[in-house]
Amino acid sequence: MPSGPRLSLLDRSRTRAGEDDADALRGTLARAGAAERQGYGRFWVAEHHGVPGVAGAAPAVLLAALAAVTSTLRLGSAGVMLPHHQPLVVAEQFATLTAFAPGRIDLGLGRSPGFTPPVRRALRETERDFAADLAELRAFLTGSAEITVHPQPASAVPMHVLATGSGLQVAARLGLPVIVGGPVLGVAGDPEPGLAALAGYRRDFRPSEQQPEPRVSISLDVLIADTAAEAADLLLPEAWAMARSRTEGAFPPLEPVAAVRAASRTPRQQQYLEQTAAMAVAGTAAQVESRLAELLERTGAAELVASSSTFDREALAASDAALAAVLG
C-alpha cells in the first residue's frame, strides 16, 4: 500500500467554555475543510464518552459528516475504542463510510477504558482480547470471515493501532501500522525506553497484505505562534484541563488563556500543567521545525499527527496553517 500522508491533524472536538457542544462539532468540520485547503494529508477524530471537555463521542458519525464537506482529505478514527464495540458493527460502520468516501477512510483502533466508572458501566465494559478483536475485525473488512459484511467495502479500509507497551507487540504480530504518543516519544523524559519499544515493533513486525513493512506515526501537541511566549500561552488551556482531570476527576472545556493564568492552582496541579506543556512542541515556526525534524529522525516516524488544541480558534487555525507550511 502507499506510504500514506506525512502530516495530519487529530481533532477531538474539544468544547470551550461558553459554547454549546454542537459548536465544537461544527468547529471540527470547519477545521477539516481548512486542513484540506492547507495540504494536510489526513484528518483524525477520536472517541470519548461522558467527558464534558470533548464532544467527539461517535467517530463513524462524525467521519460521515466530514466526508460530506471534504473531497480529497483522508479521514480516520484515532481512534475507535474496540473494547466498547463488537467488531462486526465497527466493520459495517466503516464499510458504509467507504461507500461515501472510497479510498479516503482509515480505521484507527485503541483499547482505552471509559473515563469514569459510571461511563465504563454504561458501556458494559468487560475483559476483551484486543488482538483477537483486531484479527476478527480485519477478517470482516477483507472478506475472509464466515460472515460477509454489507455494504461490501468500496475500497480497502486500512487499520491502524493506537499503541503503547503491549499494543506495539500486538500490532507487530498482526502486521499493522501504529500511532504512538506520550511517553513512547520521550519528548519530556528519557527517550531510550520508547526507542527500544519502537525497535521491538520493527524487529518483530510480520508483514501483512495491508502493510508489508512497519510504519510508525507519532502524535503530540504542536502549536506555532509568532513568538515562543505566545505559543506557550496557546498550550495553557489544554494543559490546565489535563491538570484538572488528574486532580479533580473531570476533564473540563477549554478556558481562555487569561482565565487559566488567573486560576488558583495547587502545587500538584502546577506540576501536571508543566508536565503536559513539556510533552508538547511549541514555539516559532523555525523552532518547531527544528524540534520536529529531530523527533521524526529519532523515531523514524513516517507521519506526524498533530493533536493540538487551544481555546482561541483563530490562533489554532493560524498554527495549523503555519505547521502545514513548515512540513507540507
pLDDT in tens, 54-113: 999 999 999 999 999 999 999 999 999 999 999 999 999 999 999 999 999 999 999 987
**Cell reading at 56:** 467527539
| pLDDT band at residue 118 using 50, 70 and 90 as cut-offs | confident
Find the helix or strand (DSSP H, E) in which 273 lies. helix 267-278
Q: Alpha-carbon distance 141 to 159, whole Å?
A: 10
% of the chain at pLDDT higher than 70: 97
Domain segments of the chain as ranges: 7-223+282-327
**pLDDT > 70? residue 40:** yes
Which option is the CATH number for 7-223+282-327: 4.10.140.10, 1.10.3720.10, 3.20.20.30, 3.40.50.300? 3.20.20.30
- Total Cβ atoms within 10 A of residue 134: 22
Q: Alpha-carbon distance 194 to 206, whole Å?
A: 20
Nearest to 239 by CA among 219, 217, 257: 257
Over the stretch 130-174, which tens digit does the pLDDT of each residue have?
Answer: 999 999 999 999 999 999 999 999 889 999 999 877 889 999 999
DSSP tally for the chain: helices H, then strands E: 12, 10
**pLDDT > 90? residue 327:** no
Predicted model pTM? 0.95
| pLDDT band at residue 325 using 50, 70 and 90 as cut-offs | very high
